[in-house]
């Protein structure tokens, strides 16, 4: 993980709720940026975008007094495993009137449709820890 340090100085007046944007040279291939206040070690909400001139990093400076300085650490992280691998959504026809939805190769839900159903529905829907988050009745007897 590559890092850069930024120092922001309050110019000729106090700042409250002021947007701050800086141009950064990208350190190579990276997947995300995290901005950390050096004094508190807390993450600072920010957004970034790639431009023709490099990277523009923007955040809100909530309070900065005239002449005061604040230091920030910019953390560049590489692409995540999901970004490198590319989480795929697959839809497979399981049987007549039923489609299975898989995310990253893992079962997520089934889509039930056809003339025997009053309306189409998803069941079961699997949550982030592998458990169903939908009720069984009346789909399971």
What's the confidence (pLDDT) of residue 135? Answer: 87
Q: Phi and psi of 116, rounded to 5°?
A: -75, -10
- Mind listing the pLDDT tens digit for each residue in 38-73? 999 999 999 999 888 899 999 999 999 999 999 999
What's the confidence (pLDDT) of residue 85? Answer: 60
**pLDDT grade, residue 138 (50/70/90)?**
confident
What's the confidence (pLDDT) of residue 8? Answer: 93
pTM for this entry: 0.56
What's the confidence (pLDDT) of residue 39? Answer: 95
- 141 vs 70, higher pLDDT: 70
What's the confidence (pLDDT) of residue 124? Answer: 94
Quick one: how far is CA 88 from the chain centroid?
A: 17
Rounded Cα–Cα distance for residues 124 and 83 (Å): 27
What's the confidence (pLDDT) of residue 47? Answer: 94
- Contacts of residue 89, defined as CB under 8 A and 6 or more positions apart, other chains included, come to 101, 102, 103
Q: Phi and psi of 78, rounded to 5°?
A: -70, 170
Which two structure tokens, joined as six digits, stand for 8? 């922001």
Backbone conformation region of residue 27, classed left if phi is above 0, alpha if psi is from -120 to 50, else beta: alpha
- Mind listing the pLDDT tens digit for each residue in 69-113? 999 999 998 765 555 566 688 999 999 999 999 988 889 999 999
- pLDDT(19) > 90: yes
């Amino acid at each position: 993980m590559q890092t850069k340090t930024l120092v922001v100085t309050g110019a000729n007046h106090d700042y409250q709720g002021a947007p701050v944007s800086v141009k950064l040279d990208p350190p190579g291939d990276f997947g995300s940026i995290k901005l950390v206040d050096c004094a508190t070690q807390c993450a600072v909400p920010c957004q970034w975008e790639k431009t023709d001139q490099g990277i523009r990093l923007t955040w809100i400076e909530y309070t900065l007094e005239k002449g005061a300085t604040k230091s920030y650490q910019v953390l560049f992280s590489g692409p995540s495993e999901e970004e490198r691998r590319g989480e795929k959504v697959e839809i497979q026809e399981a049987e007549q009137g039923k489609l299975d939805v898989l995310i990253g190769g893992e079962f997520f839900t089934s889509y039930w449709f056809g003339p025997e159903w009053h309306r189409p529905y998803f069941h079961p829907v699997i949550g982030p820890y592998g458990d169903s988050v939908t009720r069984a009745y009346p789909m399971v007897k």
